Amino acid sequence: MFRSLIIAALLCITPLGPALAYTLEITEAQLQRQIENLMPLKRQQYFVTVTLSRPKIDLSVGGNRIGLSTHVSASIPGVTQGTGRATITGRIRYDNQQGAFYLDRPRLEELHIDKLPGQYQSQVRGLAQQALSDALSSKPVYRLNDQDLRQKLAKSMLKNVTIRHQTLLLELDPF
């Protein structure tokens, strides 16, 4: 028993720990498939309806941020029906109990909608931001798969999450 404890202690302090470290890669395409399941997002307030759809994920934003561009439609009955594009960014957040990644504090960076009168720009922007915040902060953009042994291990050994070369890198460390 005592001998086993000494061996375990030696394993912990030797350079073996870093040798067992592993990096799991989640590609932009894998994230894209998952984020498509979250759309469309629709928000209505009074007579204004904003819908976000057709997302395109972008992992080249930098600073461990995820970018997302979407198609936007805004409808104001009797006034206009406009379409355009929105650009969103947010930080990736991991919830180890759920084994899921979320887009934390999504921020609407750009919003361009054709045929939208200026007096409605602010209201439409607010609705779009609210739809994003509600949905993307609470619904995972990616969930680790318990059927995949590597991803199942990632749930218990995740040390760090970074974005590099348009890939989400999950650094796993058993110690």
Task: Please report, for the chain, the start and end positions of each structural domain, with discontinuous segments joined by +.
Answer: 31-144
pTM above 0.75, yes or no: no
What one-character-per-residue DSSP string does 20-37 give? T-EEEEEEHHHHHHHHHT
Helix, strand and coil in the chain, % to nearest 5:
30, 45, 20
pLDDT of residue 85: 94
What are the tens digits of pLDDT across the range 44-58? 888 888 888 999 999
Question: Binning pLDDT at 50, 70 and 90, where does residue 14 land?
Answer: very low
CATH fourth-level superfamily of 31-144: Uncharacterised protein PF07273 family, DUF1439 (3.15.10.40)
Amino acid at position 124, single letter: V
Range from 18-32, 66-80, 94-108, 128-142 carrying the lowest mean pLDDT: 18-32
